[in-house]
Amino acid sequence: MIRTLRRLGRIAKIARTLARFGALDGLDRSGLPPGLVWLANAFAPRVADGRPGQRLAAAFTALGPSFIKFGQALSIRADLVGDEIAADLSDLQDRLAPFPGAAARDIVAAELGRPIAALFQSFDDEAVAAASIAQVHFAVTSEGRPVAVKLLRPGVEDDFERDIDLFLWLAEFAERLIPRTRRLKPVDVVRTFAQTVRLEMDLRLEAAAASELAQNFAGDPDFRVPTVDWQRTARRVLTTDRIVGVPIDERETLIAAGHDLDAVVARAGRIFFNQVFRDGFFHADMHPGNLFVAEDGAIVAVDFGIMGRVDKPTRAYLADMLMGFLNGDYAAVADVHFRAGYVPAGQSVGAFTQACRAIAEPIFGKQLHEISLARLLAQLFQVTETFEMETQPQLLLLQKSMLVCEGVGRRLNPNVNMWHLARPLIEAWMVQNRGIEARTREVAEQAIQRIEGLPQLVSNLEKAAAMLASGGVRLHPDSLAALSHGSRGSAWRPWLAVCVLAGGAVLVALLLRG
C-alpha cells in the first residue's frame, strides 16, 4: 500500500512537470481519459513553447537523470514517437550539475581500496564533464601519466531502480487498460531501457568495450581509443589515458589547425564502416562531444557506455540491402528482407518491392550531398510495419548512429556525402564477403563442418544402440499398444519394429549431439 502511494505521488509530480512544459498536449488522443489530461494541464501553468519534441525534451531534463536517459532511448524509436519527436529528443543534452570533488575522492578511495594520494600525484576536484550517470575528472597518476577518471554519481543506482520500477508499472498499466498501446510493446521498451542503463552503470563493462574497440583498430593510424588503466578501474571508477584533440564539430578550429575537412569526413566514414561491417561492433554514441581530431589527423573516441553489435547474418542483410538501394534494384532489396525472415513469407513480394521503390526514388533523386542513408533506413522501418516486419532493435540503434555520423559529416562539409566516399569500401566488402568466391567458400566451410561432425554422429549412434540394447530407451505403453495393433501374424510387423528402433537410435544420437 505504501509503495503504491509513493508511486502515485511520484506520478503526480511527473504529470505536473510534463504539463508545465506542455508535454501532455495530444495525449488525450492516445487513449488516456481526457479529463485526467485536462486536470494535469489545469494545475500546471505552461513554462515552455516550441515543438512537441522540444517541450518533451525540456520536461525530461527537469525530471532528472532517469528521464534524460529514457528520452535518449526514445530518440532511436521513431517507430514509437514519430520522426519529429525522435529528432528533437536526439538533441537532449545529458548534462547536470557536478557533484563535489570531495565526494569524487571518496568514491575513488572506496572503490579502489587505496588512499587517493597513493594512486594519483594530483586529482582535480572540478569535473570537466558531468552527465546524468557519471562525471569526469582529470588527474595525474603516481607514475606521472595524465588520465581522465570517470565516476558514477553517488546513489545513481538506487535512483534509477526506483524510476525503472515506476516506468515498468506504468507500462504494464497501459498495456492492460489502453488497448491501442499494446502494439507499441511499452513493457518490452522499458525492459530494454533498463537493461541498457544497468550495463552503463558498471564501468568495468565500459572499460572492456573500449579495450575491444581498441583491439579491433590496432595498427590503424586513423582511429584511436584511450588506453584503459585497469589498475585504477572498478565498478564505479574508470580511468583512461587523457586525450588531446579538437572536438570534431569545431569546424573553424580544425581549419585553423591545418586539417583537411574532406579527409576528416572520409576518415570518419571509413571508421564507422569498419566498425559495423568488418567488426560487427560499433560505437553507438558518436555525437560530436565524444569525437576529437588529434594533431596528426587521427579521430579519437571517448565514452563507450553505449555500444552496438551486428552479427554476420545481419551484416550480410545490410550490405545486400544497401547495394540494392544504391543500384536501384528494388526487387533485390525486397528479396533480402524475405530471405532474412524480417518480412513474413505470406506478404506480397511485389507490393513490398513497390514500397521500397516509393521510399528510395525521392531520396536518390536529390543532389548527392543531400542523400541520407540513415533517413532511408528510418523510412524503410516505418513502411515495413505495414508488412508486419518486427522491430529490430540492433538496426534501430545502427540507424540512429548513422544519422549522428551524417550530421557530423555535414557540419564539416555540407557538400560532401560520407557514404559516397565510403562506397568503394562497401563494394570491396561485398566482393570479399558476398561475391561468388565468398559464397563458394561459405558452402565449402559448411560442408567441412558437417564432415567433421560425422565421427561424433557415429559415436552418438553407437551410444544410442548401446542404450537400446541395454533397455535404456523405453517406448511409451501407448506406442507399444499401437505397434501391436492389428493382426498378430502380419509379416510387416518385424520390419516396422526395426524401422522404429532405428529411427529411435538416430533420434537419440541427434539429441546427444545437441
Catalytic center residues:
285
CA separation for the pair 120, 100 (Å, rounded):
18
- 101-127 b/e with 16+ CB inside 10 Å = b? eeebbebbbebbeeebeebbeebeeeb
* Closest residue by Cα to residue 222 from 141, 275, 126, 296: 296
**Residues written for the chain:** 514
Task: For residue 10, count CB atoms less than 10 angstroms from its CB and return exposed for 0-12, middle for 13-18, buried for 19 or more.
Answer: middle
CA separation for the pair 282, 225 (Å, rounded):
13
The beta-carbon contacts of 7-14 under 8 Å, at least 24 apart in sequence, are 7/166, 7/169, 10/166, 11/166, 11/170, 14/63
Query: CB neighbours of 196 closer than 8 A, spacing ≥ 6?
Result: 73, 306
Query: CB neighbours of 184 closer than 8 A, spacing ≥ 6?
Result: 80
CA separation for the pair 337, 334 (Å, rounded):
5
CA separation for the pair 64, 337 (Å, rounded):
40
What is the SS3 assignment for 243? coil
What is the SS3 assignment for 281? strand
Q: For the CA atoms of 274, 279, 280, 283, what is the dihedral angle to 10 degrees? A: -60
Please write down the HEC assignment for all residues of 41-81. HHCCCCCCCCCHHHHHHHHHHHHCHHHHHHHHHHCCCHHHH
What is the SS3 assignment for 145? coil
The percent of the chain in helix, strand and coil, each rounded to the nearest 5, is 65, 10, 25
**Contact call for residues 429 and 277 (beta carbons, < 8 A):** yes
- Count helices and strands (H / E) in the chain: 22, 11
**Contact call for residues 201 and 152 (beta carbons, < 8 A):** yes
CA separation for the pair 379, 92 (Å, rounded):
22
And the C-alpha cell for 18?
Answer: 510534463
* Closest residue by Cα to residue 96 from 49, 159, 41: 159
Longest Cα pair distance anywhere in the chain, in angstroms? 99
CA separation for the pair 89, 132 (Å, rounded):
15
